[in-house]
């Protein structure tokens, strides 16, 4: 339990939760989706930093986990935006979003497999 109640663990997680709640609310109030995305990414990275400080996850696995999460988010968001009709003017952006998400997913999975073989 001592690993979880250190300041280096609790502080990034609490700041991540606050950031993850505040910036999307401000983004929704000003109709600024970029601010919401920044808040979600910052919250994710801060919380991952807090998890890393517990010592439960190896450093090499954090990059793999982050790549897989961002890749999955890219694929899902591309599909959601396509379904909402946001890419009606430039349909090629859907393909770019899916490609970037797929590359991030593949890179995360390949790195995860390589890191697991080393252990």
Q: Is 62 found in the same domain as 117?
A: yes
Full-model pTM: 0.72
Q: Is 108 found in the same domain as 70?
A: yes
Q: pLDDT tens digits, the chain, 119 residues: what are they?
A: 666 788 888 999 899 999 989 988 888 888 787 888 888 889 998 988 888 888 877 777 888 888 998 999 889 988 988 888 888 888 899 999 999 999 999 999 999 898 887 76
Instruction: Write down the residue that tokens 């790195």 correspond to.
Output: 111
Q: Which helix (H) or strand (E) holds 83?
A: helix 59-84
Ranges assigned E (strand) in the chain: none
**Within 10 A of 19 (CB to CB), how many other CB atoms are there?**
21
The structural domain count of the chain equals 2
Residue 21 tokens read as 């709640």
Rounded alpha-carbon distances, angstroms, from residue 109 to 8, 21, 69: 28, 29, 11
- Give the domain extent around 44: 1-57
Q: Is 64 found in the same domain as 108?
A: yes
Q: Is 62 found in the same domain as 50?
A: no
* pLDDT given at position 52: 85
Q: Is 11 found in the same domain as 67?
A: no
Q: Is 39 found in the same domain as 85?
A: no
Which of 78, 69, 79 is CA-nearest to residue 109?
A: 69
């Amino acid at each position: 339990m001592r690993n979880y109640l250190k300041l280096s663990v609790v502080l990034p997680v609490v700041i991540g939760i606050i950031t993850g709640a505040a910036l999307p609310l401000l983004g929704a109030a000003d109709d600024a989706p970029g601010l919401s995305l920044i808040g979600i990414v910052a919250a994710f990275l801060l919380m991952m930093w807090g998890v890393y400080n517990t010592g439960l996850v190896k450093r090499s696995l954090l990059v793999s986990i982050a790549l897989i999460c961002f890749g999955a988010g890219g694929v899902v968001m591309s599909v959601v935006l396509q379904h909402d009709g946001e890419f009606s003017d430039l349909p090629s952006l859907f393909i770019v979003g899916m490609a970037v998400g797929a590359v991030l997913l593949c890179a995360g999975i390949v790195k995860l497999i390589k890191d697991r073989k080393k252990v």
